[in-house]
Amino acid sequence: MPAVFDYLQPEGYFKREEAEIEKLTRDIEHLPLPLQWEGSSQAGEKSEFNKNRRADESHEEYIRRRQFENAELHRWKLRVRAERQDFEAREQQKADRIAALKRLRRQKSDNLQAWLFRNFVMRNARGEQRDLISLFGMDHDYPPAGSGECCEPRLLQYAFAHGLRPVSMAMFWWGESPKQEVRHHLQFYPACSGKCKPILRWMLQGMDVDPNPLEQEETHELKIVYEDDTLCVVDKPAGMLSVPGKGCRESVLDVMRRRCPDATGALVVHRLDMATSGLMVVAKTAEAYRELQRQFATRSVRKRYVAILSRQPREPKGEIALPLRPDLDDRPRQVVDSVYGKPALTHYEIIDGCRVALYPRTGRTHQLRVHCAHRDGLDSPIKGDELYGRRAERLYLHAEWLAFRHPATGEEVEFTSVAPF
């Protein structure tokens, strides 16, 4: 498909401005950096005078010598001060020059981005047109780099420009998975949240599109496993949020606030993904919340999950240590990043065939899902994981066992939930 806006003409405005920005970058890199003052070369000569009277020196001679040395020291300090002021003035000129060039580069870069995104004019199914800056609105200074250049917006732009009516569209990955992300050959993946979804929401207006399940109002029954005056342990069903989201879906927190209207807490201590089922502990008091949070922070809470993988791991048990961070252009997806990622550790053991027990030692977002799916982990996505594997009737991941110290009694307590698969 052709580009929505072809801005890469060799002699075009974008290329000319880009060349000027690159020249500014080279100029900045070649400028000498400002230096720090390290003192005068005469510092050693004047750093210490003999302040004591010498044996062969009369009192009058000692007075004259000290007066002379004090005058010399004063003159030396004035020279050093003048040297330092001259030095700092020259270095400040360097710093001012670099700062001015950086401001100019930033201004040119911002102007070029604004020009570019105003020229990316997207169509929708109603025949309306809007540029990317108006589509992303006040939530962004500018749309993310590369917005409007992905395959889905280009396909729809071509269709609407030529009077075609799309029937269906999906994106799949071809080839080997990249090092950081989880991508499997010939598997389908949704549009990225950061760049494409805001554009696609506009472009698909005027078409009969299946609603996003996350934006639909939906209620679930929340099973209470244990409850006292301090806390409540619940068995969250798959499809229920832990805390309220952007849509209308009911969350564990919503249910617990209705159930315990007089509680000083009703605070969700930890979370499960919407697609994950299983045990969660909710604090009813602020004191219980703080104590449970401390236990989670010190990793003294013990957890076990059960999952069904897409294929059996090669080793019967082992450990996965892959640092994780959010994919900034496609939240809530996570990527493996050895430089900027936070440490994430998971132990696993095979129960039977593709059924495995997972023991997270850290609590990173999507930790178990990425550790199972990533090629440097188990290289076997959890069944039904539509972010990192293939969609099924549900995500086959369940928090089946939870153990911690009761925040009021200090006793070790544990709870179990049978996986519904």
- Closest residue by Cα to residue 368 from 401, 335, 346: 346
- Closest residue by Cα to residue 388 from 403, 369, 407: 369
User: Which of 35-44, 89-98, 123-132, 397-406 is least confident?
Assistant: 35-44
pLDDT of residue 183: 86
- Cα separation, 58 vs 64, in Å, equals 10
Average pLDDT of the residues in 260-265: 80
Contact 329, 144 (CB under 8 A): yes
Band (214; pLDDT cuts 50, 70, 90): low
Record: fold of 223-416: Pseudouridine synthase (3.30.2350)
Q: Residues 344-367: pLDDT tens digits?
A: 999 999 999 999 999 999 999 999
Looking at residue 383, the DSSP 8-state letter turns out to be T
Sign, CA dihedral 248-296-408-290, equals negative
Would the pLDDT of 138 be above 80? no
Six token digits for residue 404: 């911690």
- Cα separation, 126 vs 141, in Å, equals 27
Six token digits for residue 80: 């050093």
Q: Residues 318-331: pLDDT tens digits?
A: 999 999 999 988 88
pLDDT of residue 263: 81
Band (266; pLDDT cuts 50, 70, 90): low
Six token digits for residue 37: 């003052």
Band (43; pLDDT cuts 50, 70, 90): very low
Average pLDDT of the residues in 19-45: 82
pLDDT of residue 218: 67
pLDDT of residue 44: 47
- Cα separation, 374 vs 389, in Å, equals 10
Whole-prediction pTM value? Answer: 0.69
- Closest residue by Cα to residue 199 from 262, 270, 121, 267: 121
pLDDT of residue 213: 63
| Residues designated catalytic | 273
Would the pLDDT of 56 be above 90? no
Average pLDDT of the residues in 281-300: 94
pLDDT of residue 52: 79
37/412: higher pLDDT = 412
Which residues lie below 8 Å from residue 121, measured CB to CB, with a gap of 6+? 4, 5, 129, 130, 131
Average pLDDT of every residue of the chain: 90
Other beta carbons within 10 angstroms of residue 382's beta carbon come to 29
Q: Residues 84-93: pLDDT tens digits?
A: 999 999 999 9
Q: Residues 140-161: pLDDT tens digits?
A: 678 888 899 998 999 999 999 9
Q: Residues 162-195: pLDDT tens digits?
A: 999 999 888 888 998 888 888 888 888 888 888 8
- Cα separation, 170 vs 149, in Å, equals 16
